[in-house]
Amino acid sequence: MAELSFEELPEFFDGDPARPFDINYSKQLDVHRWSDYPEANRFVDHIYETYIKDEYKFLSIKKKCLKVFLLDLYVNWLEDPNRLLGFSRRLSAYNAKSRYNKLHISRTIIEVQDALSDLGLVNFKRGWVDTTTGRRRNTKVWPTQKLIQEFEKAKIERLDIRLDLQSHNGLPAVENHEVVVQQETVKDEYGRDQKVRLEYKVTPTVEDMRGVLDEYNALLQHHHIDLCNTDHSYVVHHGNKVSEQEVVDPKTGRELLAGATGYGSRKQRVFVNQDNLVYRVFNNGSWKQGGRFYGGFWQQIPREYRRYIRIDGFPTVEVDYSTHHPVLLYARKGINYWKEYGADNDPYNLREQFIELFKDRGYEVTVGGAVKSFRDGDELMALERGIIKKLMLCMVNCKSDQQAIKATTDDLRTEAGGNWNHYYHSLTNEVMEPYVKAIRMKHKPIRDYLSQGKSLELQFLDSQITEELVDHFTRRGIPILTVHDSYIIPEEFVRDLRWQMSKLWNRHSGLNDRGVTVDWESDYLARMTDGSSEMIKTKKRMPTFGPTKEIHPHSKRKQYVSKRHRESLKAFKKWRKREDVQERMKALRLLEPSKQLEVYDYLEN
């Protein structure tokens, strides 16, 4: 089948008005998509023998490309039959020798796509330049009805199309993905910043990082991680177009707007599934900049949904380092912000500074003036604080005040969408400069660090804390989910998480416990650090640097649990009890006594 022109593109899928065709609604081809399970191999062999063999001769390399292409088309169709697959036909997009292409998929995959198109198995629209934006759009591919009928007959278990985990010397190893990424920023052909991944030499330090991530990913792959409050398999980003109360029911947490018309779009969907590869990204070709953990749907969903995450069907708690990067900058000056200024001294409250800045007006001014003043009091202060927080974090990240103002304005405009003029005045430099001055007034001890591009250094520091937390809980078989400097864990382990977070912050902040330990004792429930299942109860002084924020779920009795979540959990339990899966878990040392903690036992009951 030849390439379709714009005039030939359908208005609807299969002529169904409920399924509008959108050429811009797509996801990029995942060249890591793989499965060695017999059902997947039989499906690919069937397609080759039935449709391809008599017309084309595929050697092993092409057959591997065919498998990746078909499996990703299949997964994409399962998640959303209306979503297309983005596909690059540029030869430079496929470097078979790159460490970021673990399956060594070459440019031969372009020939595979052409063959599938010629045989009437896929439709495609070749890449084009968008005349409105001037941006290049890549090729879009979608299955024909002939291939969809084969998908419907396939007996592939979706949970079997996941990470390729192997056991090396008794330890897990992710075979089909690079989990440690190094990148730098360059300008693309349009003068825009673009992230480019770098090849690098593997050192013992990199091997250690990779080992932690391999074990962590092996653990995540064998625990059910899901949202309990959604009836759909995806979440829609609404930005500031609607309030949190309109997105989820404040009493039960039930999602209210996922399928509603007039809010969000299909391009803003985040799909919730069990793939959840986690990797680290270092910046500017340096192992000392960035290093944060990325991946997993929990980093991509709106924050108001995170309290409804369940692990193996159990509620979770999110614990967040309060105002982490500004407080780390104070620590560089040898100051514990919370001890010096008080635990209730919000770093983003600039009331006193605005009063001082605007004292010549003859009346008290307590806000910066960027938010339109007809908002009610609570909403006005919330929007003001949001501006201050974004601006201060941008001042930590950017190399000049002007860059920080532009980055803040762009971020706020993206969040507010069509409601931009409803919330804010025009955020010109003149409007935003009082905010910059007020921040520098309040935070005099660290003003020399602001607008100096310190963010990547601080990200490396908080990534070290995250790595130790991940390693600690992984060794004990307890899944912990990371959102940069925030952590989500099953409810029963939250006290231990607080303990570990405080202890590690003291170690990595450079304050060395000088005046940061409060003089009180806490019951601390923990497992032995060697990973045994024995429980100990100790009384120790709780190390603490200051307040953390915690987001707790609704009580089990009140929290909405969708039918979709219950069915997903049931299917996962059934899959995990399968004999071949149990054998793999044994090979990966996920079922040894040292890892068999309550979360495993409780799930099996």
Q: What does the pLDDT read at residue 239? A: 63
What is the per-residue pLDDT across 306-360, written as a single tens digit (0 to 9) for each? 999 999 999 999 999 888 899 999 998 989 898 888 888 899 999 999 999 998 8
Query: How would you classify the pairing of strands 84-87 and 26-28?
Result: parallel
Q: Is pTM, for the whole model, over 0.95?
A: no
Q: Provide the residue count of the chain.
A: 605
Distance CA 597, CA 492 (A): 12
**209 and 201 Cβ atoms separated by less than 8 Å:** no
Distance CA 173, CA 175 (A): 6
* Dihedral sign (CA 387, 388, 392, 393): negative
Q: What is the DSSP string of 61-121?
A: HHHHHHHHHHHHHHHHHHH-TT-EEEE---GGG--TTSTT-TT---THHHHHHHHHHHTTS
- Could you tell me the pLDDT band of residue 498, with boundaries at 50, 70 and 90? confident
Q: Characterize 575-597 residue by residue with b for buried, 16 or more Cβ atoms within 10 angstroms of its Cβ, and e for exposed.
A: bbeeeebeebbeebbbbeeebeb
Inform me whether the pLDDT recorded for 261 exceeds 50.
Answer: no
* Residue ranges with strand state E in 149-268: 165-168, 171-174, 180-187, 193-197, 225-227, 234-236
Distance CA 134, CA 306 (A): 37
Q: What does the pLDDT read at residue 418? A: 67
What is the per-residue pLDDT across 91-133, written as a single tens digit (0 to 9) for each? 888 988 899 988 888 899 999 999 999 999 999 999 998 888 7
Of 553 and 536, more confident: 553
- Both tokens assigned to 289: 């900049």
- Both tokens assigned to 364: 């008290």
Q: What does the pLDDT read at residue 550? A: 72
Question: Residue 561: what residue type?
Answer: V
- Both tokens assigned to 339: 């001890």
Best CA proximity match to 281, nearest among 300, 267, 294: 294
- Could you tell me the pLDDT band of residue 427, with boundaries at 50, 70 and 90? confident
Chain centre to alpha carbon of residue 497? 20
- Could you tell me the pLDDT band of residue 595, with boundaries at 50, 70 and 90? very low
Of 108 and 536, more confident: 108
Beta bridge partners of 489: 317
Q: What does the pLDDT read at residue 265? A: 54
Domain spans, the chain: 6-161, 180-326+457-604, 348-442
What is the per-residue pLDDT across 213-237, written as a single tens digit (0 to 9) for each? 999 999 999 999 999 999 999 998 7
Q: What does the pLDDT read at residue 259? A: 54
All residues at 6 or more sequence positions from 328 whose CB lies less than 8 Å from its CB, including other chains = 458, 461, 462, 509
Q: What does the pLDDT read at residue 547? A: 53
Distance CA 604, CA 597 (A): 11
Beta bridge partners of 524: 538
